[in-house]
């Protein structure tokens, strides 16, 4: 059963939560350190900070707070998890799960604040138990007076106003307990998290992206996007028509034809987002894709993490992709420099390692015939190469933010294709989509 807790929504209240966490961690470190000394051993601070007790406390408190505190942990896990000590990465990975839920009274307060004291008059039914909860808000099902089912995304109170202070406080906590290696500069990621969270906390912006994306696919009967109910939406509440498909990762037991159509359509859509639409829904959480067995359509959810890519940047991606298709290492190196993977100060060994990494990532597009995602060792190969790059080449520089978000999109897509047992002629699909 999901945990419920009232969300602290004042800056002081949220600071007190993190301050209490810091005090608790310090107390545990002091206690465990004293025990280790008394046993005749020299304590290692990193081990004390990341003890099982402290790790559970960190994950639980950030999940309870939601908002930026939880989101920063999620981003660190996804974007630089391979650069962090294993214990730290595991703590942050736990934050990808559902957040605590608001209790009923706080839900009612949020609804009243956004839709007025007579908010219940809009609905025949409103289900107080959310169907999903995450770092920024939670989703409820309701039925309008005229009978339509809708999904209502409620933003947690105070989250938007506390983003900047939460970011600063969580960065201070990470530095205070030296949870990030000294040679890993996460400042750019922290600042981007700040900008991204402000964007995700603006539900009007998400509604605009949802409407824009809907126009891109309006003549494509393979996909479906929910319709925004404008009169019941604002910057902190988003109401849309309810999409009733099942979460797409459950299709692993469907017949081969269904899985082939779904996976090939998803891959094609991702390519079109990057190279044609110029707007990319970068959160590839499995729960953001549904499949309707009644219509055969893929239903697309959650456009809060959508990013816009300029024509110039899309052209740079295209140049890199073509270089990868032809295995042209010099062209890949030049393109990697243009995009920001490398700099003119990098030595040849580092540059060669980056080119090798890019070639590994793009292995499926050069494969002749169908690529077997389920039985491929590509994921493990990628991990091995990243770790080798990290420790042998001192790889600590993060690529540009736009690239990190694409990594997240493509990494999630690869995991989904693997989970569904996709066998796709990726080379053919890429060439067809981009011509």
Catalytic (active-site) positions: 283
247 membership: H or E segment, kind and range: strand 246-247
The DSSP string of 115-126 is H-TTGGGGEEEE
Q: Return d(Cα 214, Cα 281) in angstroms, integer.
A: 12
Alpha carbons 288 and 243: distance in angstroms, whole number: 11
Burial class (CB in 10 A: 0-12, 13-18, 19+), 347: exposed
CA distances from 51 to 56, 57, 87, 285, 353 (A): 9, 10, 9, 29, 34
Contacts of 118 (CB under 8 A, 6+ apart): none
Strand partners, 123: 144
DSSP secondary structure code for residue 251 in this structure: G
The neighbour count for residue 98, using CB atoms within 10 Å, is 15
């Amino acid at each position: 059963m999901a945990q419920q807790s009232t969300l602290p929504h004042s800056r002081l209240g949220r600071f007190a939560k993190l301050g209490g966490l810091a005090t608790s961690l310090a107390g545990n470190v002091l206690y465990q350190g004293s025990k280790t000394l008394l046993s005749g051993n020299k304590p290692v601070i990193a081990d004390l900070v990341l003890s099982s007790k402290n790790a559970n406390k960190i994950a639980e408190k950030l999940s309870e707070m939601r908002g930026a505190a939880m989101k920063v942990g999620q981003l660190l896990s996804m974007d630089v998890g391979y650069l962090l000590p294993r214990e730290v990465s595991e703590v942050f990975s736990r934050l990808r799960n559902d957040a605590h839920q608001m209790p009923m009274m706080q839900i009612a307060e949020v609804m009243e604040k956004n839709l007025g004291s007579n908010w219940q008059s809009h609905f025949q039914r409103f289900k107080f138990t959310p169907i999903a909860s995450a770092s920024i808000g939670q989703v409820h099902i309701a039925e309008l007076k005229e009978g339509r089912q809708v999904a209502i995304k409620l933003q947690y109170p105070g989250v938007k106003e506390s983003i900047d202070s939460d970011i600063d406080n969580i960065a201070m906590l990470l530095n205070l307990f030296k949870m990030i290696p000294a040679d890993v500069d996460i400042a750019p990621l922290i600042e981007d998290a700040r900008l991204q969270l402000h964007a995700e906390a603006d539900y009007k912006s998400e509604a605009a992206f949802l409407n824009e994306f809907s126009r891109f696919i309006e003549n494509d009967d393979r996909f479906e996007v929910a319709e925004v109910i404008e009169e019941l939406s604002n910057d902190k509440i988003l109401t849309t028509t309810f999409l009733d498909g099942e979460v797409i990762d459950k299709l692993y037991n469907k017949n081969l034809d269904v899985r082939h159509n779904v996976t090939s359509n998803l891959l094609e859509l991702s390519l079109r987002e990057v190279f044609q639409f110029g707007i990319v829904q970068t959160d590839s959480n499995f729960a953001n894709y549904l499949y309707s067995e009644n219509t055969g359509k893929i239903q697309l959810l959650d456009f809060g993490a959508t990013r816009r890519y300029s024509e110039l940047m899309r052209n740079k991606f295209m140049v890199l992709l073509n270089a990868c298709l032809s295995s042209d290492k010099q062209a890949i190196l030049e393109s990697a420099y243009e995009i920001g993977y490398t700099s003119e100060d990098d030595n040849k060994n580092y540059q060669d390692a980056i080119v090798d990494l890019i070639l590994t990532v793009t292995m499926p597009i050069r494969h002749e015939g169908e690529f077997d995602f389920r039985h491929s060792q590509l994921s493990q190969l990628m991990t091995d190469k990243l770790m080798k790059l990290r420790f042998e080449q001192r790889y600590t520089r993060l690529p540009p933010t736009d690239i990190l978000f694409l990594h997240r999109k493509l990494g999630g897509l690869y995991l989904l294709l693997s989970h569904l047992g996709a066998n796709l002629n990726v080379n053919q699909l890429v060439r067809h989509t981009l011509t």
